[in-house]
């Protein structure tokens, strides 16, 4: 039994190494920075730490997740985009897949800035309980089970959340809930169908104030 566990742990380590090497090889940080400085900095800031609450922070976010979002914003002829946003759709229209990988690598390499901790302690407590434990009564799963106990996410699929603007997070939760953002394959929609408006606001505030680990 012990030997099996050890073997599978070794396998996991090898797989993790294989993944991180391919992530590093995927994008060119300097080329990503060139596009970011010219096109994206006005809204997301030069280092990806947007200071406008409706524009997401990108600094420290996993490269694979960023690249996927940029591809999902693209509007292909005759198709509806899975992440419908007119502003970002126009931003990605001229980008190639390689540009998107370079941008992912650039933002991943930036240090994330922490967010302000809300003064509303009661709301933060509701958010904290939901984030780490979910809600057993109505079957809301813990956010931590996919986004990690520290909110650092798990590449390639689960984005980092810690420190993100509460206002942006709340908008995304509502978009997943209505299905207007559908690039989650229904995963986030399922989580959100049983959450109240107050719970969404509470967890968004809690996420903004989570200390950063990266
Ligand atoms: C005019 C302002 C503006 C500019 C310029 C802009 N963005 Fe955005 N970006 C936004 C907004 C607003 C959103 C949130 C969209 C939504 O609600 O889905 C966003 C979302 C994103 C996301 C999704 C982040 C996440 O956490 O899911 C990525 C990635 C992104 N932008 C990258 C870029 C890149 C790369 C550029 C430059 C090529 C760029 N943006 C230029 C406003 C802007
Ligand atoms: C079963 C796994 C799972 C659980 C549980 C889960 N998430 Fe997610 N979440 C995802 C995946 C996968 C995505 C990325 C979808 C995509 O590719 O765009 C995501 C994306 C998000 C985003 C968008 C991030 C961004 O930058 O735009 C937010 C916000 C979010 N989740 C918040 C939460 C909260 C809050 C909870 C708990 C109430 C939660 N998630 C529970 C899997 C999960």
Tokens at residue 40, please? 């994206």
Domains of the chain in start order, with CATH, are 27-108 (1.10.760.10), 121-209 (1.10.760.10)
Rounded-to-integer distance, Cα 59 and Cα 45, Å: 9
Rounded-to-integer distance, Cα 199 and Cα 126, Å: 7
Torsion sign, CA atoms 15, 17, 20, 26: negative
Residue 146 in marked binding region: yes
Sorted by sequence, the CB contacts under 8 Å of residue 186 that are 6+ apart come out as none
Nearest CA to ligand 1 atom 27: 69
Are 36 and 103 a contacting pair, CB within 8 Å?
A: yes
Rounded-to-integer distance, Cα 160 and Cα 154, Å: 7
H or E segment and range at residue 48: none
- For residue 4, what pLDDT is reported? 52
- For residue 21, what pLDDT is reported? 44
Tokens at residue 70, please? 């940029």
Rounded-to-integer distance, Cα 202 and Cα 143, Å: 13
Rounded-to-integer distance, Cα 182 and Cα 167, Å: 19
Mutate to test the pocket of ligand 2, among 69, 112, 129, 188 (most ligand atoms within 8 A of CB): 188
Q: How far is CA 59 from CA 91, 112, 149, 157, 214, in A?
A: 18, 5, 19, 17, 10
- State if residue 203 touches ligand 2 by the CB under 6 angstroms criterion: yes
- For residue 183, what pLDDT is reported? 95
pTM score of the predicted model? 0.91
CA–centroid distance, 158 to ligand 2, in Å, is 7
Give the number of the ligand closest to the Cα of residue 158: 2
- Print pLDDT tens along the chain (214 aa): 445 555 555 555 544 544 444 444 579 999 999 999 999 999 999 999 999 999 999 999 999 999 999 999 999 887 888 999 999 999 999 999 999 999 999 999 999 999 999 999 999 999 999 999 999 888 899 999 999 999 999 999 999 999 999 999 999 999 999 999 999 999 999 999 999 999 999 999 999 999 998 6
- State if residue 157 touches ligand 2 by the CB under 6 angstroms criterion: yes
Residue 17 in marked binding region: no
CA–centroid distance, 155 to ligand 1, in Å, is 19
Nearest CA to ligand 1 atom 19: 55
CA–centroid distance, 85 to ligand 2, in Å, is 18
Residue 100 in marked binding region: no
- State if residue 68 touches ligand 2 by the CB under 6 angstroms criterion: yes
DSSP state of 37: I
């Amino acid at each position: 039994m012990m030997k099996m566990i050890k073997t599978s742990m070794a396998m996991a380590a090898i797989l993790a190494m294989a993944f991180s090497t391919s992530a590093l090889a995927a994008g060119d940080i300097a080329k990503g920075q060139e596009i970011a400085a010219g096109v994206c900095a006005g809204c997301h800031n030069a280092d990806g730490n947007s200071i406008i609450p409706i524009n997401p922070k990108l600094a420290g976010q996993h490269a694979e997740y960023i690249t996927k979002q940029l591809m999902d914003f693209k509007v292909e002829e005759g198709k509806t985009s899975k992440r419908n946003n007119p502003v970002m759709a126009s931003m990605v229209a001229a980008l190639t897949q390689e540009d998107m990988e370079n941008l992912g690598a650039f933002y991943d390499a930036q240090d994330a800035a922490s967010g302000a901790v809300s003064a509303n302690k009661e709301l933060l407590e509701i958010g904290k309980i939901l984030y780490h434990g979910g809600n057993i009564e109505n079957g809301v799963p813990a956010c931590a089970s996919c986004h990690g106990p520290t909110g650092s996410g798990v590449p390639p699929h689960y984005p980092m959340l810690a420190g993100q603007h509460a206002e942006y997070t709340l908008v995304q939760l509502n978009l997943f809930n209505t299905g207007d953002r559908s690039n989650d394959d229904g995963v986030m929609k399922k989580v959100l169908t049983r959450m109240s408006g107050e719970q969404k606001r509470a967890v968004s505030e809690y996420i903004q104030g989570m200390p950063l680990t990266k």
